[in-house]
Amino acid sequence: MCGIVGYVGHKEAAPILLKGLHQLEYRGYDSAGVALTGEGLSSISVFKAKGKVANLEEKVNAALGKSGQMLTTGIGHTRWATHGEPSEVNAHPHLSMSGDLALVHNGIIENYQLLKEQLSGHGYEFKSETDTEVLVQLIDYFYQKNGKNLAKAVSQALNKVIGAYAIVVMERNDPGHLVAARKASPLVIGIGEENSEFFIGSDASPLVEYTHKVVYLEDEQIADIRMGEDVEIMNLDETSADLNIKDVDFDISALSKGGYPHFMLKEIFEQPHCIKNSMRGRIIQHENGLYEIKLSALTNFKAKLIRARHVIIVACGTSWHAGLIGKQLIEEMCRISVDVEYASEFRYRKPVIDKDDVVIAISQSGETADTLAAIQLAKEQGALIFGIVNSVGSSIARESDTGIYIHVGPEIGVASTKAFTGQVTVLTMLSLAIANAIGSMGEEEFQRTCEELVRIPQKMEKVLGQNETIERMSNKFTYAKNFLYLGRGYNYPVALEGALKLKEISYIHAEGYPAAEMKHGPIALVDEEMPIVCIATHHHLYHKIISNMQEVKSRKGRILAIVTEGDEEVKAIAEDVIEVPATQNCLVPLLSVLPMQMLAYHVAVKKGLNVDMPRNLAKSVTVE
């Protein structure tokens, strides 16, 4: 959702904040703002702009270029609107009516209407429609009453609040001082040399250029940050908490496009390398040529993992699609029953969870509010929580009992690509490792599958080699208003993912369907205008999907098929064909999803759309 940055130190704050906001822009991009102050100044300067961070940057540079003041403390925000339309007045930071405080906020204050009425009764007036402005006025109310103690005022206010928040507050009377707090929304504090400066971010990406020493704020904790002093951490009840400093390891080059026109294309092409990273140190080939899968999660929690008779996978979006593949992998290889749930539904039902169940949470960001809430619910009921997460140190990673990082590096493009293949790779290794441990898979098949999994990056390169062909193909589909994606077995979740990619970035309505279900409804939509992507790689249902394609063809649908290299039968039916190398059926999604990603990318680019920041979407959904 929204992105937050903060800086206090001895340098100019504005360039650091603006750079940080650019890095966090993938989290929200309908408006942005910064608030700045410095020693000897009697006010906080606030700059806001609708749209992208670049608009804000122009404004700030124009204003500060003339002023010559040294503004060394500041906070910034890039917004994804929840309450109130995207506009300058609704953009953050929000100032309190007194002008004493400025605040940035990520999350939702659910009882803001009630608080607003109470504050109006105390004479507070509001300029915006946001819940955030209510929060800054509430903090201001306590601040004025308690003799201007900011950390105390923040704790007093947050005790009145129902909802989720990550906030940073600055005060006009005390430059060099920031107070931050979080509940159910991530916040990271970076510590500079000898506490000479501090950096704040919604994730570590804006900080790592300056420091690797970070503090991940825990839920309901408040950080009192003052230049030159140790950060003080306290709980909402004002009792003090430990300062837990961690080392963050982050590859900064992942934050640039590396010569590609978009992050999404870069991330699509990174996949062979990324899944090698997912496998590194985990699939080991011994000198005798035999493979072994070593997962620390399986060593530490082996008894519980191999005893489980029921696995529940919770996730959202693309991660949920990876979960559907996980279900097939675990059921086929381990013979353990698996349910895959939308985290947003699971958390509000009364799901049956046994203490011997394993709940797998899949999340790229590790911050998706619904997924986090789902595992908290499952944890209360005693299940083992297993996180499959990309973002190291994120909330879901920390909330999980154990898990496996996918290690694909920061994913910036809003449409998830490399995280999906990383998640599927990890789910494959996990299924193989459990199957091997419980003996549900023969040794020969285990060895064959490991060997083939290790070859997948090389085979991915071959699929990516067809990028130009797919680009040419995409030209003829920009007219489409609807698309249908069909697949069976392991390729059914790939069809769903293909449809989601197209919807997300090209704004073309698309549906994914299990191919045989087409007869029960979607076939009524098929006419000569309708492109239908059929994923028809070789597997035991191959001839059945060919029949489904014939049904489409006889209704004049335009078929674009994904087939196994050398396939001649489908070529005779389909208008266009993209080949993927032959592999084992359970590994096909790692290859067949690549043309889905490339097709969606090129259609969107041809339509002139911003693929890295599609409208209305956010990379990390930290509100429900």
Catalytic residues: 2, 619
- Residues in contact with 556: Cβ distance below 8 Å, sequence separation at least 6, in sequence order: 526, 527, 528
49 or 510: CB nearest ligand G6P? 510
357 or 367: CB nearest ligand G6P? 367
Stretch that binds ligand G6P, among 80-88, 218-226, 286-294, 311-319 (CB under 6 A): 311-319
CA dihedral 524, 528, 532, 538 (to 10 degrees): 100
Check binding of 596 to ligand G6P (CB under 6 A): no
175 or 387: CB nearest ligand G6P? 387
Check binding of 421 to ligand G6P (CB under 6 A): no
- Residues in contact with 370: Cβ distance below 8 Å, sequence separation at least 6, in sequence order: 316, 342, 343, 344, 347, 621, 624
Check binding of 563 to ligand G6P (CB under 6 A): no
**Tokens in use for 537?**
């790689």
Stretch that binds ligand G6P, among 143-151, 200-208, 214-222, 359-367 (CB under 6 A): 359-367
Stretch that binds ligand G6P, among 229-237, 363-371, 451-459, 564-572 (CB under 6 A): 363-371
In the complex, what is the shortest distance from the CB of residue 9 to ligand G6P, in angstroms, rounded to a whole number? 31
Check binding of 319 to ligand G6P (CB under 6 A): yes
In the complex, what is the shortest distance from the CB of residue 426 to ligand G6P, in angstroms, rounded to a whole number? 13
Check binding of 407 to ligand G6P (CB under 6 A): no
Check binding of 365 to ligand G6P (CB under 6 A): yes
In the complex, what is the shortest distance from the CB of residue 400 to ligand G6P, in angstroms, rounded to a whole number? 13
- Please, is 307 exposed, middle or buried when counting C-beta atoms within 10 Å of its C-beta (0-12, 13-18, 19+)? exposed
Stretch that binds ligand G6P, among 91-99, 315-323, 344-352, 450-458 (CB under 6 A): 315-323
CA distance 385 to 383: 6
Check binding of 205 to ligand G6P (CB under 6 A): no
3-state SS class at 282: coil
Among 318, 417, 537, 597, binds ligand G6P (CB under 6 A): 318
Half-sphere exposure of 116 (CA within 13 A, CB side): 15
In the complex, what is the shortest distance from the CB of residue 122 to ligand G6P, in angstroms, rounded to a whole number? 39
Give the DSSP H/E element, type plus range, for residue 77.
strand 73-79
Check binding of 363 to ligand G6P (CB under 6 A): yes
215 and 233 in contact (C-beta within 8 Å)? Answer: yes
Stretch that binds ligand G6P, among 135-143, 189-197, 513-521, 616-624 (CB under 6 A): 616-624
Angle between helices 491-506 and 589-606 (to 10 degrees): 20
Check binding of 394 to ligand G6P (CB under 6 A): no
Q: What angle do CA 486, 492, 493 make, to 5 degrees?
A: 125
3-state SS class at 340: strand
Angle between helices 418-438 and 271-279 (to 10 degrees): 30
Check binding of 369 to ligand G6P (CB under 6 A): no
211 and 199 in contact (C-beta within 8 Å)? Answer: yes
3-state SS class at 623: coil
Check binding of 368 to ligand G6P (CB under 6 A): yes
Among 91, 408, 619, 622, binds ligand G6P (CB under 6 A): 619
3-state SS class at 224: strand
73 or 365: CB nearest ligand G6P? 365
| Helices assigned H by DSSP within 439-588 | 443-464, 467-474, 491-506, 542-553
CA distance 224 to 212: 20
Residue 86 — φ and ψ, nearest 5°?
-65, 115
Check binding of 582 to ligand G6P (CB under 6 A): no
Check binding of 621 to ligand G6P (CB under 6 A): yes
508 or 621: CB nearest ligand G6P? 621
In the complex, what is the shortest distance from the CB of residue 322 to ligand G6P, in angstroms, rounded to a whole number? 8
**Which stretches of the chain bind ligand G6P, using CB under 6 A?**
316-319, 363-365, 368, 371, 414, 416, 617, 619-621
